[in-house]
Amino acid sequence: MPREIRRLRAGSLACAARLGELTAVFVLNARPLVFGIALLLAGPALAQAPVPPEKVKQLFELLDDSSVKAWVAEQRNQAARSTGAPAKAEASPADASSDAAAAPGQMNTMASSMLDRIKHHIEAIVRTLPSLPGQFARVREKTMEDMSSRGSAGVLLLIAIFIAAGVALTWATYRLTRPFRLWIIAQPKDTPIGRAKKIGGRTLYSSLLIVSFALGSAGAFMLFDWPMLIREIVLTFLMAAVVTAGVRMYLAAMLVPSFMQVENAFEVRALPVTNETADHWFYWLPRIVGVFASFAAAFILLPGLGIDRDGMMVLSVGADFVLLVLLLLAVWRRPRTRRDDGHGHTAATWLLTAYFVALFLERIAGLYTWFWFTLAAFVLPFAIVLTQRGVNFVLRPGSEDAGRPTIPAVTIAVIDRGIRMILILAAAYLLARVWGLDMQAMRDSDTTTTLILRGLINVMVIALAADFGWSIIKALIERKLGIETPHAVIGEEDVPTLDPQQARLRTLLPIIQNILLAVIVVMAVLMMLASVGIQIGPLIAGAGVVGVAVGFGAQTIVKDVISGVFYLLDDAFRVGEYISSGSYRGTVESFSLRSVKLRHHRGPLFTIPFGELGAVQNQSRDWVTDKFNITVGYDTDIDFARKLIKRIGLELAEDPEFKNWVIEPIKMQGVQEFGEYGIVLRVKVTTRPGGAFAMKGRFFLRLRQAFKEQGIELPFPTVHVEGLQIPHGQENAPVEITPELKMAVAQSHANRRRRKASTTE
């Protein structure tokens, strides 16, 4: 507990220091634009450019409106259709050939029109530059009437005072919420639920601090009665400060930078980033957002102060350049990864540089539609990948000390795909708003453009729904499969036995997964085609005809597939079981729609079509009875040998190594036959599949030792040679194999066979 108190005290001091720095950052972010505007207001007009009449300006602005341009183009097309329809009805072949060449001409016209728009946009920027001092002079004359008692310094002082008030209320909230911080610290970081609670608690705590800062700054400012212009300026920049503070606090909650002095900060972050990377982006992103928010606040105010549209366009170029410089500095100063050599820069750095420069050039050229599309084309995939990594990192399995708790895969899939769907729909909505698309008008309109856009929207929704459904199905199946090897049930003595239910699931679920994937893909494709106006009825009918033709031409494949279905319905075998069929035998490894893979115990892998499998002998189901023979000498007491075999069988049945395998212990069934050199005894044992092999080896060792101790002979083949005299004292001496000895042995075998044949007759 004292360590936590010291940590909290150090955190409090660090937070106080950072809050002080935050005040300075807010003032520095908000001050340049206001100070620059104040200088322009206070200074004399450097030049007074002639301003066109108001009606002419209104006409130019009206002609630049995209809706007016679209209406004019539609009127021209209608006029062309009304005047050119009869002529086309009587057109000659030469005219038809000229119409065929119209498409490239239209593309050239579109390209030329785009170049003209870029040229006019740049010319407007250049033409407006000399008039900016005059516009700022008019702004000065207009604003001095409302700010006669307060100058630019007074406005800056008000902003600084209320930012300080927001920081003070934030500090008070920080001091009063100590129990909540202790609760966040107490959450375990070695479990997924604990990490999720930590990140959620820090996010909620950051939201509480942001609300406190907003109430202490903008809320306190609104309690007083101010002149209208001062109210708008101060309140707008205070909101920019709130946005900057929010980004900073949320980044602190997600990245956990080094100033928070958290032990093992990597484990409690929302993203798998290093300490250097977290500190770098925590330093740069709030500053970039702060500058952007300051520019946005200024651009909200300037049109109301008298800056026209062209002037705002020129100012936006300068603001875009400042943001470009900040972004490039953040990219080029980011920490190097292991793939870097420490001297050069990666390809990602150069690609990001080219991307930001391209965005800047699109803004300068006035290609705002392309700008938003280019921005979304990078930001959306980046956000999706970042979200997926964050979800998988936070919800990863726990540590060994905590028992490795896990989150269900279905929950992770729902969270990941849900966030992805929200991001895609939000991006589509923002692009539609930026491009000026009216959903209600698109629904009521029947033009080609609206039909295509409606079809694309429907395709996107169908693809998202199919992806969401498939991710849930896949997660459910993977959760059922569980592990890469067949699941084992641990008994009392930790002897693994095959779980039939798990083996059954591992047999059927991969096939069901492939079938469901095919069904989802086919249904999604058909729904997409129907959404864009394509009639899918003929496609389905044609697919049916093709299916019948393929069925007749591929009867063997159809036979294999149908046979496999019936094998699985009969539960003839499962993954992990040892089966034999004809000349094939082995352990079932996997299935497909038409074949099964068997791994032979010597290593070869057989891929057998179901149609060629035939009758299957399953040697891994329920129980196995193994019978084998033991030969003893003719002078052995059979009843005594039976008792020895039974005793050894009972001992092995009670052995912890074999206890859970044995169903019936080893015992003697009786005398099998009289062999050539001994009496053959029949022995039987019943075990679970796979349990008899090791136990038989142990049984033979113990039986040999017991027979040896009791003087029971285990006979082996011998040859008795008649007429061979061995000198006295050399009975145990090595015998030299001579031709005469070989002839005597052969003659002895021949006589023995003749006696056996005569006895049989």
Q: What is the 3-state secondary structure (H, E, C) of 27-48?
A: HHHHHHHHHHHHHHHHCCCCCC
Q: At what angle are helices 638-654 and 692-710 packed, to 10 degrees?
A: 140
Closest CA to 498 of 665, 625, 619: 619
Least confident of 12-16, 111-115, 605-609: 12-16
Asked if residue 277 belongs to a domain, the reply is no
Residues 604 and 676 in one domain: no
Residue 227 domain-assigned (yes or no): no
Bridge-partner residues for 579, per DSSP?
586, 618
536 and 652 assigned to the same domain: no
pLDDT-based confidence at 342, cuts 50/70/90? very low
- The reported pLDDT for the residue numbered 706 is 84
* Short-list 551, 560, 645, CA closest to 594: 560
358, pLDDT greater than 90: yes
Mean pLDDT of the chain: 74
> Are 608 and 639 part of one and the same domain?
no
- Residue type at 356 in one-letter notation: F
Q: Which of 454, 465, 468 is nearest to 530 (CA)?
A: 454
Alpha-carbon distance of 244 to 25, in angstroms, equals: 9
- Domain closes at, from 618, 633, 655: 618
User: Which of residues 565, 598, 618 is at a domain's end?
Assistant: 618
Tokens standing for residue 228: 């209208």
Distance between first and last Cα of the chain: 100
Instruction: Give the tokens for residue 216.
Output: 């202490």
Give the CATH number of the domain where residue 653 resides. 3.30.70.100
For residues 476 and 408, give the distance between their C-alpha atoms in angstroms, rounded to a whole number.
9
- CA 423 to CA 383: how far, in whole Å? 8
More confident position, 578 or 445: 578
d(CA 235, CA 465): 43
Give the model's pLDDT for residue 46. Answer: 32
Q: Is residue 597 part of a domain?
A: yes
Q: What confidence score (pLDDT) does residue 466 get?
A: 86
Other Cβ atoms closer than 10 A to 333: 10
Lowest mean pLDDT among 310-324, 331-345, 656-670: 331-345
Question: What's the number of domains the chain is made of?
Answer: 2
Q: Which of 153-167, 314-328, 534-548 has the highest mean pLDDT?
A: 314-328
H helices present in 334-489, as ranges:
347-365, 368-394, 409-434, 439-444, 448-481
Contact 242, 220 (CB under 8 A): no
The residue-averaged pLDDT of 47-76 equals 56
Residue 289's pLDDT is 95
Residue 503, domain member (yes or no): yes
| Residue 473 pLDDT level (bands cut at 50, 70, 90) | confident
Residues 486 and 608 in one domain: yes
What does the pLDDT look like over 370-394, one tens digit per residue? 888 899 889 999 999 999 899 989 9
Contact 210, 249 (CB under 8 A): yes
Domain of residue 608 covers 482-618
Average confidence (pLDDT) over 414-424? 87
Residue 3 pLDDT: 47
642-655 burial, b for 16+ CB within 10 Å, e for fewer?
bebbeebbeebbee
- In a 13 Å sphere around the CA of 617, the CA atoms on its Cβ side amount to 9
Contact yes or no for 685/626 (Cβ under 8 A): yes
Same structural domain, 497 and 542 = yes
Is the model's pLDDT at 137 over the cut of 60? Answer: yes
Q: DSSP string of 525-583?
A: HHHHHHHTT---HHHHHHHHHHHHHHHHHTHHHHHHHHHHHHHHHHT---TT-EEEETT
Judged by DSSP in three states, 586 sits in strand
% of the chain beyond a pLDDT of 70: 69
Q: Is 93 helix (H, G, I), strand (E, B) or coil?
A: helix
Mapped onto helix, strand or coil, the DSSP state of residue 340 is coil
Pair type for strands 624-632 and 488-490? unpaired
Burial tier of 358 (Cβ tally within 10 Å: 0-12, 13-18, 19+): middle
648 in the same domain as 523? no
Model pLDDT, residue 249: 93
List, in sequence order, every residue forming a beta bridge with 629; answer none if it has no partner: 682
User: pLDDT tens digits for 142-201?
Assistant: 666 666 556 667 778 888 899 999 999 999 999 999 999 999 989 988 888 989 999 999
Residue 160 amino acid letter = A
Instruction: In whole angstroms, give the CA distance from residue 70 to residue 59.
Output: 16
CB atoms inside a 10 Å sphere around CB 408: 12
The distance from CA 134 to its chain's CA centroid, rounded to whole angstroms, is 56
51: nearest Cα among 159, 146, 137: 137
- For residue 637, the model assigns a pLDDT of 83
Q: 296: how many CB neighbours lie within 10 A of its CB?
A: 15
Both tokens of residue 106? 């239209």
The verdict on 669 and 568 lying in the same domain is no
Higher pLDDT, residue 22 or 307: 307
Euclidean distance between CA atoms 673 and 208, whole angstroms: 91
pLDDT for 520 equals 87
- Token pair recorded at residue 309: 């549209």
More confident residue, 325 or 673: 325
Distances (CA, A) of 25 to 174, 210, 260, 482: 19, 16, 18, 51
By mean pLDDT, which of 37-46, 264-273, 375-384, 528-537 is the weakest?
Answer: 37-46
Residue 676 placed within a domain:
yes
What's the mean pLDDT in 492-500?
43
CB atoms within 10 A of CB 339: 8
* pLDDT at residue 31 tops 50: no
Q: Of 618, 639, 665, which residue constitutes the final position of a domain?
A: 618
Question: Based on the domain organization, do 600 and 640 belong to the same domain?
Answer: no
Give dist(CA 454, CA 439) in Å, integer: 9
The per-residue pLDDT for range 504-521, each reduced to its tens digit, is 666 667 777 778 888 888
Q: What is the pLDDT of residue 9?
A: 44
> Which amino acid does the sequence have at 39?
L
Pairwise CA distance, residues 231 & 426, whole Å: 33
Measured in residues, the chain has a length of 761
Residue type at 484 in one-letter notation: E
**Coil, strand, or helix at residue 226?**
coil
pLDDT at position 447 is 65
Asked if 199 contacts 268 with a C-beta cutoff of 8 angstroms, the reply is: yes
CB atoms within 10 A of CB 26: 29
Return the pLDDT at 212: 94
CA dihedral 380, 384, 386, 387 (to 10 degrees): 130
Are 568 and 501 found together in one domain? yes
Is the separation of the CB atoms in 243 and 29 below 8 Å?
A: no
Helices (H) and strands (E) in the chain, counts: 24, 10
Residue 351 within a domain:
no
Q: Quick one: how far is CA 636 from the chain centroid?
A: 72
Residue type, 539: L
Same domain, 613 and 628: no
Please report whether residue 706 resides in a domain: yes
Longest CA span, the chain: 146
pLDDT at 118 over 90: no
How confident is the model at residue 84, as a pLDDT?
42
Residue with tokens 């006029």: 79
Per the domain annotation, does 30 fall within a domain?
no
Residue 515 and residue 611 share a domain = yes
Across the strands, what pairs with 490?
A: 496
C-alpha 37/C-alpha 41 separation (Å) is 6
Interhelix angle 500-531/448-481, nearest 10 degrees: 180
| pLDDT band at residue 99 under the 50/70/90 scheme | very low
Between these two residues, 162 and 141, which has the higher pLDDT value? 162
Q: Do 604 and 645 have their domain in common?
A: no
Strand partners, 686: 625, 664
The runs of H, that is alpha helices, within 223-346 are: 228-255, 275-305, 309-332
Give the confidence band of 490 by pLDDT, cuts at 50, 70, 90: very low
